[in-house]
Chains A and B, each alone.
Chain A
Amino acid sequence: MTWDECYRSVRELVLDYATPESDDAPLALDSLAVVLLVEAIEDRFGLTLGAKDVTPERFGSLGALVRFVWSLVS
């Protein structure tokens, strides 16, 4: 998987749960959106995310989330 593919995949999943104005804009997820997004990422990338992975820093913006997922899949 390339960075671009990772970016596109994560963005596609995020758009189901949030409508960020830019890569750095806050995602403003509610708790339902967080849990559904975590599950969708696990399913799409074959990952298992623990509670330690699900933090405001990593899920705060689309850009942050892509960097986090890329660090796990690359």
Chain B
Amino acid sequence: MRGFLDTLLMTSGAPTHSALTTALGETLTYQALITAVEQAADTLREAGVQPGQIVAVDTRSAAAVLAMLAVLEAGATLMPWDGRQNDLGLLETARPVKLITQASFEGAITLASPCDNPRELAPGIGLLLFTSGSTGRPKGVLLSLDGLMANIDAILSYLPVRKFPRTALTLPLSYSYAFVGQALVTLRAGGTLLMMQDLPFPAQQLSTMRALDASGLSGVPTSLRRLCEAALDMPVSERPQLGYVASAGAPLDQATRERLGEVFPCARRFNQYGLTEASPRVAACSDQEPAFHAGSVGRPLPGLTVLARDPQGTPLPPGQTGTLWIQGPSIMRGYLDDETGSSKVLIEGGLLSGDDGWVDDAGYIFTVGRQDGLIKVAGERVSLQQVTAVIQAVAGVREAAVVARPDSMVDHYLVAFVAGDPGIITAIKAHVRAHLPLAGRPRRIVVVEHLPRNARDKLDWQVLQHLATEGGT
């Protein structure tokens, strides 16, 4: 049987070609990458890791990408885990047989055993990714290796990575967008990954992209807005010479679409749509297509079908708004330990995305938001139910309500209203920091005597939305 790397790199470039370059300019050739990944995979096998078991990888370092490839090479299921967020609950839920805490470019890995009773999954699951769910608890998304490979090739059918092969990787490797949509796609195309996750400042990212001769950039709208702002402060001759700039993860507004064209005049712009449950990419379009300028997220990728369905599940004709439903090889196998949740979204042989939208006569998709309390903060999916539940778990909180406000930089920000004693805010903040990812932490927490209610004694969301627009803490 062919190993994962063999399959992935089938069409890749020469062994001496550079596969990976760090921000400091250290370079790994394809041959060195293969050797390092095989060595790390051997270490996993010697540690008793079996196909069907889960191996988590702390995704913080640039070398983590080698450890992630090694897990797949060893035939196990990869669970990216961001050690910075340090969410131990995810490890308890997933029960991985090993956690790779550190990795080197030479293929050395450090293993920990985070649980006593490791789980066995069905064969063929390549990735386990956790994402916010509308019920309030993070959901584990199970993606097959075949589906991932199908998605990688579908992405390469439109994204010009072969023509512009030096990919700037600025997003965390724990995102499917970064690991699948950029890292695996670039390696499949024989390109070079420029590992820039350790550079958090936009001006720094731009000058490093320039120094490393980056030719392709993918980001979420928030990161692209910050980069545009920084780029406008520098002469055109000092900006990176990008061949393409791609956006996904949240709606790309008209101002940012246009700004990207001004800042990177030679770059083809792409708007894309996807979700973790779809491996992740579903649709894309470039600025050569009129629909891009009208705000479309594009047409379905080869092999995928997208249509809108009404609340009863009936397919809607073009132009009518419903919930977007996606069919094709790259949709998930299901949610971990959640048959009820899986059967709610896996219907009619496809995936109900939860995103509302419509498809026009030419097949272009337009998204209009969601109804289920899941919102985007800086491109990350955040569950208002989860944030509310975490705050309500603090002793002394009588009642809590969380409001999302639209924001031109970070998509949305959160304001939490809490009924309780004024002194409770310290305890709430500590609890929020321990139990919510960065994007889920409210910008403001407002403690009040009682939450506003309407004449029918229901929470008055209109008043809360209004209060949330007022400044101060």
Residues of A that sit less than 8 Å from B by CB: 12, 15-17, 29-36, 39-40, 43-44, 46, 50-52, 54-56, 59
Contact = CB atoms under 8 A, between A and B. Distances in A.
A32 B183 CA distance: 19
Contacts of B226: 35, 51, 54
Given A36-B439, A56-B204, A44 B410 contact: no
Contacts of B204: 56
A22 B356 CA distance: 46
Task: Name the interface size band of chain B.
Answer: 35 or more
B378 A35 contact: yes
B2 interface: no
Given A17-B438, A30-B200, A43 B233 contact: no
Interface string B186-197: 000000000001
A15 to B, nearest CB: 7
A39 B407 contact: yes
A19 to B, nearest CB: 8
Given A17-B438, A55-B201, A31 B223 contact: yes
B95 interface: no
B441 A55 contact: no
B229 interface: yes
A31 B471 contact: no
Nearest to B472: A44
B233 A51 contact: yes
Contact of B409 (A35, A52, A56): A35
A32 B413 CA distance: 13
Contacts, number: 76
A32 B171 CA distance: 9
B247 to A, nearest CB: 15
A25 B380 CA distance: 28
Nearest to B227: A51
Contacts of B229: 50-51
B431 interface: no
B433 interface: yes
B443 A43 contact: yes
A56 B171 CA distance: 18
A15 B201 CA distance: 19
A43 B433 contact: no
B240 to A, nearest CB: 15
B367 interface: no
Main secondary structure of the interface of B (DSSP, over half): mixed
A44 B84 CA distance: 25
Contacts of B199: 31
A33 B200 contact: yes
Contacts of B84: 30
A44 B443 CA distance: 9
A10 B87 CA distance: 25
B327 interface: no
B340 interface: no
B230 A32 contact: no
Contacts of A31: 170-171, 197, 199-201, 205, 223
B203 interface: yes
A35 B443 contact: no
Interface in B198-251: 199-205, 222-223, 226, 229-230, 232-233
B293 interface: no
A33 B82 CA distance: 13
Contacts of B232: 51
B433 A32 contact: no
A36 B440 CA distance: 11
B429 interface: yes
Contacts of B378: 32, 35-36
A33 B438 contact: yes
Contacts of A32: 172, 378, 380, 438-439
A70 to B, nearest CB: 18
Contact of A35 (B197, B222, B233, B471): B222
21 contacts: A15-B429, A15-B433, A16-B432, A30-B172, A30-B200, A31-B170, A31-B197, A31-B205, A32-B438, A35-B226, A35-B378, A36-B410, A36-B438, A39-B407, A43-B413, A43-B444, A51-B202, A51-B229, A54-B201, A56-B204, A59-B201
Interface string B23-61: 000000000000000000000000000000000000000
A42 B226 CA distance: 14
A39 to B, nearest CB: 6
Contacts of A33: 200, 438
Contacts of A55: 201, 203
